[in-house]
Amino acid sequence: MALYVEGLSKGVANRGMAQFQEMMRQQLESSMHAELEKLLDTTTGAEREVSKKDFEGFNNLFHRFLQVKGPSVEWSKIQRPPEDSIQPYDKIAVRGLPDNVANSLNKLVVVKLNGGLGTSMGCKGPKSLISVRNENTFLDLTVQQIEHLNKTYNTDVPLVLMNSFNTDEDTKKILQKYTHHRVKIHTFNQSRYPRVNKESLLPVSTNLSMTGQNAEGWYPPGHGDIYASFYNSGLLDHLITQGKEYIFVSNIDNLGATVDLHILHHLVSQPNGKRCEFVMEVTDKTRADVKGGTLIKYEGKLRLLEIAQVPKAHVDEFKSVSKFKIFNTNNLWISLPAIKRLQESNAMDMEIIVNPKTLDGGQNVIQLETAVGAAIKCFDNALGINVPRSRFLPVKTTSDLLLVMSNLYSLDAGSLTMSPKREFPTTPHVKLGSSFTKVQEYLTRFESIPDMLELDHLTVSGDVTFGKNVSLKGTVIIIANHGDRIDIPAGSMLENKIVSGNLRILDH
């Protein structure tokens, strides 16, 4: 009897706790709603309308954030994706191309994610405006690629840039230089969401302005916002009325993300009822990619699993190259009518990424974000295609920049291709030290970019400069001790060498 009473009181206690938690949630939502209304009242007209739409999206995300209990995946439910759900690229390519490639291309729109700044590489303004090869910026190369397609096949593939409030103004100024190129360029802005105080769970901004202290109160909510922003901008409907069927979405700093005609043909040649609405390009994981998101089967659906969703006890397993063999390149092919359908039925479901930040004044805030690839589970007949590594060439650091500026690659119509003179297809592992982090400083340290065709590994640390026509082969490690400087003389050839301290050159 005592046990029964104890069990009963526990049940009441649990019910009471659940009711209390629900009450707290409702209170938080109500407070957030009131604060957002106050923010809206600080402006009028068009800005108020845009912010109101943004806040609707944010409210939805905040509501879901308060509902979440524990990790978004149960580890025991994770299964390997079925064999046929990830196709090898060769199997897609072996079908060849149709006689009329233009028909397929005229159904395509290229979308580049252009919300990021170049701050991590010491640059001001949009990252897409950093010069990466022969004075060409990421944006220049993208325009050249699409213009080349339009001229070669007599087509009209437009370029769409998803900007953020950080990049919009500078990007629009630069777009004037492409007015005589054979590419129609459209832009739309992703949402502007309020950063939330970690303790109070209320916005840190006091008004909608982007100046002074308020500037730090706002953030673009990750690339998963593309669906709502694209739809809200009216551009999605505009493109559908023009007969466009698919978008090819990729990060603007991934120089390997060019339009692939074989993947496009595979998409548009499927019978209508079996049309694949979402393709994620994945590629084989190496030890450098252990944190990259991967595809799994979960509750009967193909799903993207990100490291942030993995319970701590299973992180090492997630990073295993043998268990999870592929990772997401963030090159995605998505059906436009499907985006419209999912947006209008409010069926776009992406896991929330909680991104903690500390503001300049020391205040701890959180950003609620989503990832574009996480929506894969919402689309019909979704597919992974295991593409060659060459389609994943991101430039995140000056170490990456050194690779793409070197003779490892040749540039043709905006596309980089690995030199046939390199004997193996993998890129060298390059690790430049903190003296090279900022682009301007990096550029002053190379009189010319070294010959790297036969390089496997390069590590550089400390105050090091390179003269003209230096050649690097095998494994080269150059370490200048604190207070020392190493100048690699013009014309030097370093093969399997360790260079240290006072320029002693040792065989490796």
Single out the residue of 303, 246, 280, 290 nearest to residue 110, CA to CA: 246
pLDDT in the model for residue 507: 53
Mean pLDDT of 340-350: 94
pLDDT in the model for residue 389: 92
Same domain, 268 and 379: yes
pLDDT tops 50 at residue 402 = yes
Same domain, 320 and 459: no
Binding-site residue ranges for substrate: 223
Distance CA 92, CA 387 (A): 10
- Domain end marker among 391, 420, 453: 391
Burial 379-418 (b: 16+ CB within 10 A, else e): bebbbbbbbebbbbbbbebbbbbbbbbbebbebeebbbeb
pLDDT tops 60 at residue 506 = no
pLDDT in the model for residue 306: 87
- Domain end marker among 374, 391, 408: 391
Same domain, 292 and 430: no
Bridge partners of 495? 473
Same domain, 291 and 429: no
Binding-site residue ranges for UTP: 127, 190, 222, 253, 396
pLDDT in tens, 116-130: 999 889 888 999 999
Same domain, 350 and 410: no
pLDDT in the model for residue 322: 78
pLDDT in the model for residue 324: 85
Distance CA 455, CA 452 (A): 5
Give 424's pLDDT tier (boundaries 50, 70, 90).
Answer: confident
Distance CA 430, CA 436 (A): 12
Same domain, 377 and 419: no
Q: What is the 3-state secondary structure (H, E, C) of 69-95?
A: CCCCCCHHHCECCCHHHEEEHHHHHCC
Instruction: Show the domain range for 422.
Output: 398-500
Same domain, 244 and 343: yes
pLDDT tops 50 at residue 252 = yes
Same domain, 380 and 464: no
pLDDT in the model for residue 4: 40
**Top-confidence residue, 14 or 52:** 52
pLDDT tops 80 at residue 225 = yes
Tokens of 72: 């978004």
**Top-confidence residue, 153 or 506:** 153
Distance CA 347, CA 380 (A): 12
The pLDDT > 70 percentage for the chain reads 95
Same domain, 309 and 410: no
pLDDT tops 70 at residue 194 = yes
Distance CA 62, CA 4 (A): 40
**pTM for this entry:** 0.92
Same domain, 357 and 408: no
**Top-confidence residue, 3 or 468:** 468
Report DSSP state, residue 134.
Answer: T
Is 283 a domain residue? yes
Burial of 333 (0-12, 13-18, 19+ CB in 10 A): buried
408: amino acid identity, one letter: L
pLDDT in the model for residue 212: 76
Is 245 a domain residue? yes
pLDDT tops 60 at residue 11 = no
CATH code of residue 479: 2.160.10.10
Number of folded domains that form the chain? 2
Same domain, 152 and 290: yes
The DSSP code sequence of 274-341 is: G---EEEEEEE--GGGTTS-EEEEETTEEEEE-GGGS-GGGHHHHH-TTTS-EEEEEEEEEEHHHHHH
H or E segment and range at residue 235: helix 235-241
Is 12 a domain residue? no
Is 50 a domain residue? no
pLDDT tops 60 at residue 505 = no
Mean pLDDT, the chain, whole residue set: 90
Strand, coil or helix: 479:
strand
Same domain, 338 and 288: yes
Residues with catalytic annotation? 396
pLDDT tops 90 at residue 46 = no
Mean pLDDT of 40-45: 88
Distance CA 414, CA 139 (A): 10
pLDDT in tens, 47-92: 888 899 999 999 999 999 998 766 668 888 888 888 889 999 999 9
Binding-site residue ranges: 127, 190, 222-223, 253, 396
**Which residues fall within 8 angstroms of residue 375, CB to CB, at 6 or more apart?**
224, 227, 278, 342, 348, 349, 350
Is 505 a domain residue? no
CATH code of residue 149: 3.90.550.10
pLDDT tops 70 at residue 251 = yes
pLDDT in tens, 352-401: 988 899 988 889 999 999 999 999 999 999 999 999 999 999 999 999 99
Tokens of 113: 């994610």
Distance CA 166, CA 220 (A): 8
Is 104 a domain residue? yes
pLDDT in tens, 271-303: 777 889 999 999 998 877 888 899 998 988 899
Give 318's pLDDT tier (boundaries 50, 70, 90).
Answer: confident
Mean pLDDT of 319-323: 80
Distance CA 272, CA 275 (A): 5
Q: What is the 3-state secondary structure (H, E, C) of 166-199?
A: CCHHHHHHHHHHHCCCCCCEEEEECCCEECEECC
- Domain end marker among 347, 362, 391: 391
Give 3's pLDDT tier (boundaries 50, 70, 90).
Answer: very low
Is 359 a domain residue? yes
pLDDT in tens, 135-161: 999 999 999 999 999 999 999 999 999
**Top-confidence residue, 5 or 16:** 16
Is 33 a domain residue? no
pLDDT tops 70 at residue 503 = no
Mean pLDDT of 28-37: 92
